[in-house]
Homo-oligomer: A and B are copies of this chain.
Amino acid sequence: MPRVRAHLLTIGDELLAGDIVDRHKAWLGEQCRKLGIEVVRATTVRDREDEIVAAMRTAGDEVELCLVSGGLGPTTDDLTVQSAAKAAGVELERHADIVARLEAFFSRYGRELVEANLKQADLPVGATVLDNPIGTAPGFALSVGGCRLYSMPGVPRELHLMFREQVVPRLRERFELQARARRVYRAVGRGESSLQQVIGPVLDAARERSPGLANMFVHYRARYPEVQLLLEGTPGEAGDGARATAEELAGLDDALREAIGPAVYSIGPGDGGPELAQALVEALSARGLTVVTAESCTGGGVGQAITSVAGSSAVFLGGVIAYANAVKEGQLGVPAEALAEHGAVSEPVARAMAEGARERLGADLGISTTGIAGPGGGSKDKPVGTVDVAIASAAGTTYERLRVLGKRETVRKATVMWALKLAWDHLELGVRVDDSSS
């Protein structure tokens, strides 16, 4: 099978000035991996024509595929179209159908179409238009040297949609692609090195079973407090070409689940698989249960995470953000004595918050968080990162004290994850196994 090697090219001064983190490189890299495309280089250049042209020509000399993002906007520092034309040695031409679409787009939203916008209707001669149904900038495909170049907008949702709907079908037509099998185990409550240690013997035994499993690629991803274990079927360095199949990888589930223990909450092919919030909403929904929140240190983050899931309104009724003690008392019925005696970050207060939210808002489950996110507010007994989480239901209330390491945002994010995982455990939801194909 012919190898398809790719360059990724991201364009924009802001990517090199440290103003934003380049997530497109990782996203496109992941998509390529799933499709079986070998990304051999990623380049980021500034909004300068000669620098963009040089990077495109290098791709034209070295690889079969170049995925480009950015520089398609209407402003003078958007230079991708003219650079691609120059790299390919062609002129620009204005597309009447794109002009018509731009006019319709602007008129629909009552905005004025200015000359700068019309620039987005110009594409290199010979380019194939890649539709952008949710933005003004069309993408395009063009051959530069021996390389097929796909240029997409830098706006994340436009890039993602265009890649999936416009680029992938064309890649499948043009190249023979074979995706790698993969299996992802998600766990909250175990460190990366501890995970590696407990599963080591399981993986060693698996490698004896078949040439494909012997070649599998093992990777750990730490997304504190979540750790993910990734297994991937690759042809390996040995060169025998054997790849583990999805079935072979899934055959390791039982042994790995046992080794990892109760920390694991989800197993599946992992390509866009459920985050913890989504898994929780699905599980509650399937059981006809409702949930409410009572948040202090997370300030709305638990509610925000739950409601990030489409369809969460079936299970999430609402919550109280109880930052000030007066709100804990007034809206959640936390006893003033508990606050005075134990402080806002304490087991009695965490329990009263979860129970108060559950009763006052009338839900099956109440989730509370109260903690010291920092940078201020820490003490010797309760340093920054001390967090109390409680989960209340008809069966009773469970409580856990966490010691989270890190800065304010880390503490808050980790607390949200922990709260969701403890709700998961409280309901004894077990391990979610997704056996859909990837």
- Whether B45 lies near A40 (C-beta < 8 A) is yes
Q: Chain copies in the assembly?
A: 2
Interface string of A279-307 (1 = CB under 8 A from B): 00000000000001101011111111011
A327: chain B residues at CB < 8 Å are 292, 317-318, 361
The interface stretch among A168-176, A214-222, A391-399, A430-438 is A214-222
- Whether B116 lies near A197 (C-beta < 8 A) is yes
A303: chain B residues at CB < 8 Å are 295, 299-300, 321, 323
- Whether A114 lies near B22 (C-beta < 8 A) is no
A74 interface hit (Cβ, 8 Å): yes
Question: Given the interface contacts A29-B18, A406-B157, does A319 sit within 8 Å of B307 by beta carbon?
Answer: no
CA distance A276 to B42 in the complex (A): 33
A191 interface hit (Cβ, 8 Å): yes
- Whether A75 lies near B193 (C-beta < 8 A) is yes
CA distance A44 to B55 in the complex (A): 13
- Whether B310 lies near A299 (C-beta < 8 A) is no
Residue of B nearest to A114 (CB): B197
Residue of B nearest to A13 (CB): B219
- Whether B14 lies near A20 (C-beta < 8 A) is no
CB distance from A197 to the nearest CB of B (A): 5
- Whether B74 lies near A193 (C-beta < 8 A) is yes
CA distance A322 to B313 in the complex (A): 11
CB distance from A216 to the nearest CB of B (A): 13
- Whether B20 lies near A221 (C-beta < 8 A) is yes
Residues from 56 to 113 in A contacting B, C-beta threshold 8 Å = 73-77, 109, 111-112
Question: Given the interface contacts A18-B29, A308-B409, A310-B408, does A326 sit within 8 Å of B331 by beta carbon?
Answer: no
- Whether B43 lies near A42 (C-beta < 8 A) is yes
Interface string of A17-56 (1 = CB under 8 A from B): 1111111011111111100000111111111100100010
Which of A23, A28, A111, A300 has most B Cβ within 10 Å? A300
A30: chain B residues at CB < 8 Å are 17-19
CB distance from A315 to the nearest CB of B (A): 10
Option from B31, B43, B192, B301 in Cβ contact (under 8 Å) with A75: B192
Option from B14, B316, B362 in Cβ contact (under 8 Å) with A221: B14
CA distance A409 to B373 in the complex (A): 25
Residue of B nearest to A154 (CB): B222
A379 interface hit (Cβ, 8 Å): no
CA distance A28 to B316 in the complex (A): 39
- Whether A23 lies near B25 (C-beta < 8 A) is no
A320 interface hit (Cβ, 8 Å): yes
CB distance from A365 to the nearest CB of B (A): 14
- Whether A44 lies near B41 (C-beta < 8 A) is yes
6 contacts between A and B (CB under 8 A): A75-B220, A157-B407, A157-B410, A300-B302, A311-B376, A320-B321
User: Beyond A41-B44, A300-B304: 13 further Cβ-contacts under 8 Å?
Assistant: A16-B29, A16-B39, A22-B25, A74-B193, A76-B218, A114-B194, A134-B405, A298-B307, A301-B304, A311-B376, A330-B360, A331-B331, A331-B360
What is the interface of chain A, defined by CB distance below 8 A to chain B?
A: 8, 13-23, 25-33, 39-48, 51, 55, 73-77, 109, 111-112, 114, 116-117, 134, 155, 157, 191-194, 196-197, 217-222, 224, 230, 292-293, 295, 297-304, 306-308, 310-313, 316-324, 326-327, 330-331, 360-362, 373-376, 403, 405-410, 412
